[in-house]
Chain A
Amino acid sequence: MSTARPVDLGMPSVRPQHASPSSRLRGAEGFPAAARRETQDATLRANLAHATGTIRAKRAGAVREVRDWQKLRDAGSAIKWQVTDHLPEMLERLEASVQAAGGTVHWARDAEEAGDIVTSLVLERGAEQVLKIKSMATQEIGLDETLAHAGVRAIESDLAELIVQLAGDTPSHILVPAIHRNRAEIREIFLAAMPDLSPDITDDPAELAGAARRFLREQFLDLTGGVAISGGNFAVAETGTVVIVESEGNGRMCLTLPKTLISVVGIEKIVPTFQDLEVFLQLLPRSSTGERMNPYTSLFTGVHEGDGPEEFHLVLLDNGRTAVLEDPEGRSALHCIRCSACLNVCPVYERAGGHAYGSTYPGPIGAILSPQMTGMHGPDDPNATLPYASSLCGACYDVCPVKIDIPSILVHLRAKGVDERRETRGQFHGTWDVAMQGMSRLMSSPRLYDTAVRSAGLAGRVKRSGNIGRLPSALPVIPGWTDHRDLPTPHQSFRSWWKDREKGEARGQEQGEHDEEGTA
């Protein structure tokens, strides 16, 4: 044993861990391939363009009327930094507060552990079905499927989630999960899944919502004695209060009717004090639905005697969050309050849609959150493509209510991916480095460069549209560049264009001098 090194006699060295591979955080294919397919879907693109455009405009109006909006963002950002900087103490404080209020706190290191905790709680209470409130954390850990394996049916109570569930689909937007379905499709889904529904029903949204109301109310009213599962928007360390922000009232149903309530909440959802809610309850609704306030916000603390559940269980979920925390340049991704404003302003999301990201967390925030939660394991990892799913236009940063600098983190993650691949696997020595060396040789010799450009046979690659499509990667000049970009056809080489321009300018100057003489 070396005596030169400090000997660690204390706790075994624990490292942050990435999310379980079973988590819904990674698609089967990378973003470029998925986006190529998704963008072919004309219905999806039309729905998305309509939806994102509408919410963008609403949000802008709701934000414009708040005079101190930027100061609220500053406060929101700082409070979230305060939480990440002191996360261990905050978590212990939250646990103590919840316990003091009669709740039980469970800790889940990963998706499997969270699934096991919830499944055991449900089975111990003899429930064969549970009612759920839309929750990204439970979507992330695949809780519905885990419960189904244990013979428990999870019923989504949110209208959009119900549509998605009845269609056997996955959500495509944080806030409007069924954004990819139009009214005619939803009518078909309801007719197939609700046996009592009359075929006379039209595709009027009010009628469809009425059908869902009747369908779900039956489930709610029999919930007494049952179990409901929720997520949580905020958990107050100081008081143990859990806050649920919603529109429809299904959340209120789940929070008040069952005997047992289980809330699965990520460890980053903490706010330090009750008073801090004055910031987030202003930032979230306006950023999210573009309303001054969402219809219903519930704040509850542990168990309330004579009102609501007799048992409250809070499951605190890590599942890759501490891995995000480990990177000081990327950890502010944990500050996200899931408003979805960044999705609605993103030109890439607007066209590709949520499914292309392959994760529970789509859009710009997903592009920085998912790869950090799962890790990027080499160039074939679908999540290694997510940091490139952006044009770095910066609109996401402008609208983020807690000022997460998404573009900088995207760039940081791109660099991180490149560094890891170069240092640990030497993958670039084979292709990229050789290409770069070749480029350097070519570009330092005008004669060699001319020859290469001519011999590349650009003319043969010209599409009918007049654009250049995908070029073979053998072309040494720009390997991979044309995989996702069309180039306009150049009519001449840059060098000959430059020569012409020089000549033209010389002529133009002479011309200008003559004009001046003429007008003087």
Chain B
Amino acid sequence: MSGHGSSAAGRAWHHDERPVRTPGMSAKEEILARARAALAVPRRDAITEEADVPRAYMRADDRSETATDPAKVRDMLVRRIEDYEAAVTRTERAQLPAAIAAALAEAASLVVPPELPGEWTAGIEQRIVRDDGALGPRELDGIDAVLTGCHTAIAATGTIVLRADGLGGRRVLSLVPDLHVVVVEAEQVALGVPRAIERMAADPTAAWTMISGPSATSDIELERVEGVHGPRRLHVILVEDPPPADTTASTEA
């Protein structure tokens, strides 16, 4: 048995009544039996079954999600990502390699997940390390930037959802390098959280990471500081066809 009870030492008020454990009962059996005994005391209202949960909030099939002009949804995504002090580039597919190269201009080295489309890095002149699953954190710490794809983006919250797969990369990949560049396809953009969770629920046991802006803390006098542990810079590249210039012009008017 490990040491315990030290906190009670020197206290003015003492209460030493240890919780009872029933001999011969496993911890699991006992906790479940305690819970059943506790719930045997009925509450005033009827108990809540799954069907009783009121789902009047805006779910994935809400009109706001299904009927809003996708261009407007993408506009919202861009604004909300920028609110987190992250950079956003809107581009059409033909310009994607150039946009990626520009976002990575200051990085001397780059790591990419194994199944990242080769054409994405066509404009890159720097050293590219393709992750083979064996890169350790020390090696990753020596690489300036990481380029990944995305699974889903949430416009209402400015969130990028990565699945740990060949396009999103192992979770550590998008964590250790200081600059994270992520490519978002127009059809991956959801308006609200419920639609995003619905997309993720198709593969619930994958390793998921939801990213909203760069790493941040407000622990010192509530002043926001970027990059305590994760990447200090996040750069999102949104691929839109037809070209975004036309879309924004018509929606912002």
Contacts and interface: CB of A to CB of B under 8 A. Distances in A.
Contact of A275 (B4, B19, B170, B197): B197
Interface string A280-308: 01100100010111111111111010111
Given A55-B222, A277-B197, A278-B193, A296 B209 contact: yes
- Most B Cβ at <10 Å: residue of A16, A75, A331: A16
B108 interface: no
Nearest to A182: B221
Contacts of B10: 28
Given A22-B6, A253-B229, A307 B170 contact: yes
B17 interface: yes
A79 B50 CA distance: 8
A429 interface: no
B4 A20 contact: yes
A281 B12 contact: no
B209 A281 contact: no
A390 interface: no
B117 interface: no
Contacts of A348: none
Contact of A14 (B25, B198, B217): B25
A293 B158 contact: yes
Interface string A31-72: 000000000000000010011001100000000000110011
B32 interface: yes
Given A85-B48, A109-B21, A295-B212, A325 B35 contact: yes
Contacts of A454: none
A272 B50 contact: yes
A15 B212 contact: no
A107 B31 contact: yes
B28 interface: yes
A378 B31 CA distance: 26
Interface in B192-248: 193-194, 196-198, 200-201, 204-223, 225, 227-231
B35 to A, nearest CB: 5
Contact of A220 (B32, B59, B205, B229): B229
Contacts, number: 348
Nearest to B21: A109
Interface string A127-159: 000000000000000100110011000000111
A75 B54 contact: yes
Interface residues of A, number: 137
B114 to A, nearest CB: 11
A160 B219 contact: yes
Contact of B4 (A109, A111, A216): A111
B50 A146 contact: no
Contacts of B133: 306
A292 B212 contact: yes
B80 interface: yes
Nearest to B52: A78
Interface stretch (B39-47, B92-100, B122-130): B39-47
A205 interface: yes
B118 interface: no
A295 B1 contact: no
B74 to A, nearest CB: 16
B37 interface: yes
B215 A296 contact: yes
A299 B207 contact: yes
Nearest to A102: B205
Contacts of B35: 16, 87-88, 91, 267, 322, 325
A318 B31 contact: yes
A323 B221 CA distance: 37
B105 interface: no
A250 B229 contact: yes
Given A16-B38, A20-B18, A163 B48 contact: no
B57 A279 contact: yes
B2 A252 contact: no
Contact of A67 (B8, B58, B217): B58
A13 B36 CA distance: 11
Contact of B175 (A15, A249, A318, A380): A249
Given A81-B48, A159-B217, A298 B38 contact: no
Contact of A157 (B42, B57, B229): B229
A466 to B, nearest CB: 35
A340 interface: no
B53 A119 contact: no
B141 interface: yes
B70 to A, nearest CB: 20
A252 B170 contact: no
Given A21-B15, A212-B228, A296-B215, A113 B27 contact: yes
A520 interface: no
Contact of A159 (B5, B32, B170, B228): B228
Nearest to A318: B31
A168 to B, nearest CB: 14
Contacts of A146: 2-4
Interface string A84-126: 1111100110010000010000111111110110010000000
A325 B39 contact: yes
Given A75-B54, A275-B201, A328-B42, A110 B19 contact: yes
Nearest to B158: A292
Given A68-B58, A304-B207, A307-B170, A221 B21 contact: no
28 contacts: A20-B4, A29-B13, A84-B39, A145-B7, A146-B4, A159-B219, A160-B217, A163-B219, A182-B221, A209-B227, A216-B229, A220-B137, A224-B137, A238-B204, A241-B205, A247-B218, A247-B228, A252-B229, A256-B171, A279-B57, A281-B197, A293-B158, A293-B159, A296-B209, A299-B208, A307-B164, A307-B172, A322-B37
Given A21-B8, A78-B48, 5 more contacts: A71-B56, A111-B4, A205-B225, A307-B207, A308-B164
Per CB-CB distance, the 3 closest pairs between chain A and chain B, nearest first, are A249-B230, A149-B3, A17-B19
